[in-house]
Structure 1
Amino acid sequence: MRLLSFWAADPVPLSLLLPAAQGRVDGLEHLDPPLTAGRVEPALRALLDHSLIDLVETDGHRCLKAHGVLLDSVAAGVPDAERELLAGAAGRLLRAALPQEDAASPRARSQVRLLAPHVTGLLHRSRRHALVTAESVRIAARVARLVYEAGDWTAALALAATAAQTAAEHLGDEHPATIEARSGQGPVLFRLGRYAEAADLLRPVHRDALRTLGPHDARTLDAAYELQRVLHRLGDLAQARTLLESVLDGRRRALGEDHVATLKTRCEMLELRLAQDEFDGCTAAAEELAGDCERRLGPEHLVTVWARDAPARGLLRSGRGAEAEALFRRVLAGQRAGYGDDHPLVLGVLIQLSRAQHAQGKREQAAGSAREVAEQRAAILGEDHPETVAARAWYAEVRA
């Protein structure tokens, strides 16, 4: 119960406790009494028998659940000598439970949704007793990123902001873990359409990273990458291009041509070139990039799917609507397979499909696709989101 009290009162996946039952978590053996591998299952059975916890199923996962008042009471009685051990063990268990591969799969996303409140709970307990560490902040920032990738941007922003505030208070503004946590808020604000706010946040983060970590550090490059995306949306294409060129060069040097982060940067560069009306050579570069991604990451990888989006846009701009539609359908199928039908990023491809249909004179099909995007963006992002506004405008144009 002392271990459970360092998490939230939400359902705890049984898989989260598996490393403890296997004796693979340092620190638990030093408790009084020690929580050794052989004692985990009997302890859980005893808690179930005495109705102190319940066994429930949540989103296809078998979980334990304890009442919040009980957990608060137990947490208040934890001996001071054991708090640091328990906080460390709770963090290591959370880290071990995070998806390592195929994080975009539906089961991985449901696992992350279950873990997110427990990360917040751990930060809450750690802040109260001055036990915040760089590791606990990094775990929170990692989970916030996974929640963001799952498409729950509002929840991701709340967790990312909590991680950043906690890090700043307990580690200082210039600690590397604080810079990572602060940077993590940028992409979420970007997806929520709060571009100016994201730029105001990321500019000082990038400056601090340059000063404290240096221009070649991966975290500095990550901050620059996120900042240029925001500047792109704000129309500062020249500054965005300068930043993105530095990121691409840095990632090539540090990670190599085959790394997924390098390939993502090349995808971003293609989008920026198209935004700057640099069409010469873009089609060949897009086809080369899509081929590189397919060879190095596989045909179903979401970055490979993204890489196919650029040549589809190029075909659309050059008036080859039928070819663009066929490729956009392939991209759409890939995104739905990777993200699921209800992910907001799928809608960005669907509106391009509508444009390709419209370019061919398929007015009814284009209007149907545009209406679906406008309605779903309003439901998911809200009526005031810039992408909802753009979708409404396109739908009105198609209907007219």
Structure 2
Amino acid sequence: MSWPHLAGVVPRQAECFQHRGAVEALERAVAGGGTAVLCQVLSGTGGVGKTQLAAHYARRIWQEGAVDLLVWVTASSRESIVSSYSQLGACVTAADSSDPEQAASSFLAWAETTDRRWLIVLDDLADPGDLRGLWPPANPCGQVLITTRRRDAALGGRSRVRIDVGLFTPAEAASYLIAQLAAFGRRDDAVQIAGLAADLGHLPLALAQAAAYLVDLGLDCAEYRAQLADRTRALADLVPDDSGLPDDHRAALQATWSLSVEHADRLRPSGLARPMLHLASVLDANGIPVAVLTSPPVLRYLTDHRSVGSNGQSGLVGAEEAARALRCLDRLSLADHMTDSAHPRVRVHGLIQRTTRETLPSSVQDSVVVACADALTASWPKAEGDPALAQTLRANAEALISHAGTVLWSTGCHPVLIRAGESLGLTGLASAARTYFQDLYAAACQHLDQDHADAFTIRHYLITWQGETGDLTSARAGFVGLLADRLRTLGPDHPDTLATRGDMAALQGRAGDPVGAGEASSAVLKDSLRVLGPEHSQTITARLNVAHWTGAAGNPADAVTACEQLLADTSRLLGPDHLKTRAVRLHMAIWRGEAGDPAGAAADFERLLTDQLRVLGSDHPQTLSTRHDLARWRGKAGDPETAVSDFELLLVDQLRVLGPDHPDTLTTRHDLASWRGESGDARSAVSALEQLLVDRLRVLGPDHPDTLTTRANLAYWRGKDGDPAGAVVATSELLDDRLRVLGPDHPDTLTTRHNLARWRAEAGDPAGAVVAESELLADRLRVLGPEHPHTFSARHHLAQWTGRAGDPAGAASALAQLLADQLRVLGPNHPDTVATGGSLAFWKAELEHGDPL
């Protein structure tokens, strides 16, 4: 034969060919191969341009005269490969082509020994097994280039370099579309071009066929994007038909992956890849947790829907088989199995998902949606301890809901709809949770009777998150309406009715009425004991609520006693390590500290932390929360430096485990700043709180209680840092917002009034502070009662400012009366009693000597 020689038809270069990263990767692989690595494998899903990359490379080295023989083989089947080799054998060795296998062997023998330079391109290799006995030989004069959708181990190793060909980058995709349109004298808006490239997932094949469709129909990108987003249109109707495909494409977009699916479904475990792809097609294209696709609901679906022709395999599909089915999809480049995070996940291109969904009958798609909804629900951790995982699960739920139609409402509200909203709130996105449940309730009113139990449940969540965002007025009104409806439809003794009353009581306390909350909680407890019995979970919760509001109403010692009694019962009924038992221990420690024993509280939290570490591990959110409480009470016990150190270490772990925007992380930043101030570094506290306020405004919004608390403490530490006048201004502005958001009788509003009086005194107006604190004392007596710690605090400060306003006798007299009441209520060793005794001694000394002792 004459040399050089070209065998087979090399595809013509695509219009507007993009010089992309994969071109350079191939050049590097060839240059680095030398004589050791003579085979390069371009691997990727259908439509990423593997054939075009191979043709570009082959054409270049042919034009440069770098090879004497260029062979282009369509390798879609063993028969095709043998046929091409046979023709070559006849050409280069005069082999008898009537015996294709023998002629093919003759060609390979020649290729192994010749000193002629050759390149064999095996395009679109469907199955590495087809090359058994047909691999081109390792000859320093030869080179092999393979394009394939497969990722089998047989395509790698020391003798072969696999180059993964991915999508266009956004810039490459936009550049390609601009060039394609320009070739037909068309221009379009750059933003719409980038948007269309993103809509098509930057897939080269999709971009090429979309550009041809745009030109053929005279559409602009915005019009095409609108059609693409219209789910009533099939993808097959939005690309050219077979007669109008650009760049010698072999198939329209919707048929590109069908052969790969067939191959994947034949791989062991046979019959599972196709139904697995069905499931993946309704979830998030950017990443589906493997745990979801190997969960029990998925295993049941795979068992029931194994493809026909699965070699007679039957029986329950196990998690290992499901995982291997995912690997089959990965081997055929229909999915990417990613293991670069703590939670392995699978990514499927959005157009593969769409073409898969469009092949499913509506009844099958409904069963797919329900199976995925069940799988998400089963896989969702009860504690939202990993924000990245929570976000991934929510993204999958959002994708699923967008494809679900009405099937998730067919028997009520599917639990995944509620779980997605819960997740938003539990990861700190309270405003988003409120909006989500508003929309979910609107949907429930469309699909369910308004008296349906699930509609009530959704209302309950909506009201809860209204309260969490600081809208206590709407929340109170919402609970009143919900309780009336549950009483009407369920009766007074139904557990849901009792739960509504319990949450109403809690909201009443949060709204500034701990006494009323305690009374309401006691009534719920009485009815729970009668209806549910003393050992029911809701009864135990009601007892804990009564203890909590007893403490919040100003009786922390009684709260400790109630918690000690409840702890004995939960330990007996549930065991020492049960969640509720640990919750009781937590409240007992808090109220022990509030009762005047901060060291005892710290000791309680040290013991609780030891058990949390043993039961839950170091990174569990409850363990981290216990560390937070321990640091706080160590500070209150007189060791602010240790508190600062503990909070600094905790913050590092919360940032790693929970992320920067989690409510617990933000709270730790808040308390760390405050304890730095308590350690004597007010300037550092101000700086940290200023930064925190920016983040809380962004994450929680301006009216969230935590945002308002940050403003309160920022004003406080600005005053402590030497700017009492600035503290007066900031506290005045805060008071306006707390009056608007929380109302005049909320404890936080009353505390803000106290702080404003304090900073007026510090700014040189003790007489004004006396007037303000006198008015505040009257309201605290009315709202909290005469023996509440906050009422005692108001009396203490009023006496102090009375003395500073020029009436030391009045100060001493008021403090003496306060001391008698604190000795009776709190006891002689309570820190507040001790502080009052010190202040009384001060003003007595002022009266007797004109100087403080």
Q: What TM bracket, shorter-length normalisation?
A: 0.7 to 0.9
Match of 2:398 in 1: 120
Q: CA deviation at 1:73?
A: 4.5
1:79, 1:7 → 2: CA distance? 17
Q: Against the structure 1 CA distance between its residues 117 and 270, is the aligned structure 2 distance closer, same or farther, given a 3 Å change threshold?
A: same
State which of 330, 334, 339 in structure 2 corresponds to 1:48.
330
Residues 49-88 of structure 1 aligned to structure 2 (within 5 Å): 49-57=331-339, 59-88=341-370
1:387 aligned to which of 706, 710, 716: 706
The residue correspondences of 1:72-221 to structure 2 (distance < 5 A) are: 72-99=354-381, 103-104=382-383, 106=385, 113-126=391-404, 128-129=405-406, 132-134=409-411, 136-145=413-422, 148-149=425-426, 153=430, 156-157=433-434, 159-221=436-498
Q: What is the correspondence of 1:1-400 to structure 2 with a 5 Å cutoff?
A: 1-18=277-294, 24-25=300-301, 28-29=304-305, 44-57=326-339, 59-99=341-381, 103-104=382-383, 106=385, 113-126=391-404, 128-129=405-406, 132-134=409-411, 136-145=413-422, 148-149=425-426, 153=430, 156-157=433-434, 159-237=436-514, 240-253=517-530, 255-278=532-555, 281-330=558-607, 350=628, 354=632, 357-358=635-636, 360-362=637-639, 371-372=671-672, 378=693, 379=695, 382=700, 384=702, 385-390=704-709, 393=712, 396=716, 400=720
Q: Secondary structure at the match of 1:184?
A: helix
Deviation at 1:19, TM superposition (A): 5.1
Q: Give the conservation status (yes or no) of the 8 Å contact 1:189–1:195.
A: yes
Structure 2 residue runs without a partner (length 5+): 1-276, 648-669, 675-687, 721-853
Distance 1:6 1:257, change over 3 A: farther
Distance 2:528 2:627 in 1: 27
66-75 vs 347-356, greater mean Cα deviation: 347-356
Q: CA deviation at 1:55?
A: 0.7
Cα offset, 1:257, TM superposition: 3.1
Other structure's SS at 1:48 match: helix
Shift of 1:63: 1.8
Amino acid at match of 1:118: N
Mean CA deviation greater in 369-378 or 247-256: 369-378
Cα distance, 1:328 vs. partner? 4.4
Residue 161 (structure 1) shift: 4.3
Deviates more, 1:240-249 or 1:335-344: 335-344
Q: Distance in 2 between matches of 1:64 and 1:171?
A: 35
2:368 maps to amino acid: L
CA contact (8 A) 2:297 2:375 kept: no
- Secondary structure of the 2:294 match is helix
Cα 1:252/1:16, change in 2 over 3 Å: farther
Kindly state the Cα deviation for residue 176 of structure 1 after the two structures are TM-superposed: 0.8
Query: What CA deviation, in whole Å up to 9, does each residue of 1:130-171 have, x standing for no partner?
Result: 652345533322454356456564665455445433322211
Q: Deviations over 1:162-217 (max 9, x none)?
A: 54333222113221111112212333444444433433433323322222222222
* 2:450 aligned counterpart, secondary structure: coil
Please report the RMSD computed on the Cα atoms of aligned residues, expressed in angstroms. 4.3
Separation in 1 of the partners of 2:302 and 2:484?
Answer: 37
Deviating more after overlay: 170-179 vs 335-344: 335-344
Q: 3-state SS of the aligned residue for 2:507? A: helix
Q: Is the 8 A contact 1:140 1:160 kept in 2?
A: no
Deviates more, 1:369-378 or 1:199-208: 369-378
1:151–1:287 Cα change, 3 Å: farther
Q: What are structure 1's unaligned runs of at least 5 residues?
A: none
Distance 1:397 1:20, change over 3 A: closer
SS across alignment from 1:6? coil
Using the TM superposition, give the Cα deviation of residue 366 of structure 1 relative to its aligned residue in structure 2, in angstroms: 6.3
SS at match of 1:2: helix
Question: Aligned equivalents of 1:54 and 1:216: distance in 2?
Answer: 53
Q: Equivalent residue for 2:765?
A: none
What CA distance in whole angstroms lies between the structure 1 residues aligned with 2:531 and 2:427?
28
Worse-superposed segment, 78-87 or 247-256: 247-256
- Give the superposition deviation at 1:354: 3.9
Query: Alignment partner of 1:85: what SS?
Result: helix
| SS of residue paired to 2:337 | strand
Structure 1 residues 7 and 33: alpha-carbon distance in aligned structure 2, compared to 1, 3 A threshold? farther
Tell me the amino acid that sits aligned with residue 553 of structure 2.
Answer: Q
The count of corresponding residues between Structure 1 and Structure 2 is: 394
Equivalent residue of 1:125, what SS?
Answer: helix
Change in CA separation of 1:262 and 1:287 when aligned onto 2, cut-off 3 Å: same
Identity, in percent, stands at 22
Name the amino acid aligned to 1:139. V
Structure with more of its chain in helix, by fraction: 1
Q: Deviations over 1:201-258 (max 9, x none)?
A: 3332332222222222222233332222222111244553454234334444555433
- The alpha-carbon distance between structure 1 residues 142 and 219, as it changes in their structure 2 partners (threshold 3 A), is farther
CA 356–19 in structure 1, closer or farther in 2 if over 3 Å, else same: closer
> 1:137·1:167 contact (CA, 8 Å) conserved in 2?
no
Kindly provide the amino acid, as one letter, of the partner of residue 166 in structure 1.
Answer: A
How high is the TM-score relative to the length of structure 1?
0.77
CA distance in 1, matches of 2:361, 2:308: 10
Q: Return the offset for 1:287.
A: 1.3
Q: 1:286 Cα deviation (Å)? A: 1.9
* Between 366-375 and 267-276, the greater mean CA deviation after superposition: 366-375
Q: Is the 8 A contact 1:144 1:160 kept in 2?
A: yes
Report the Cα offset of residue 388 of structure 1. Answer: 4.3
Q: Which stretch of structure 1 is more off in the superposition, 68-77 or 25-34? A: 25-34
The residue type equivalent to 1:182 in the other structure is R
Report the AA paired with residue 122 of structure 1. L
Residue type of the alignment partner of 1:288: Q
Counterpart secondary structure, 1:78: coil
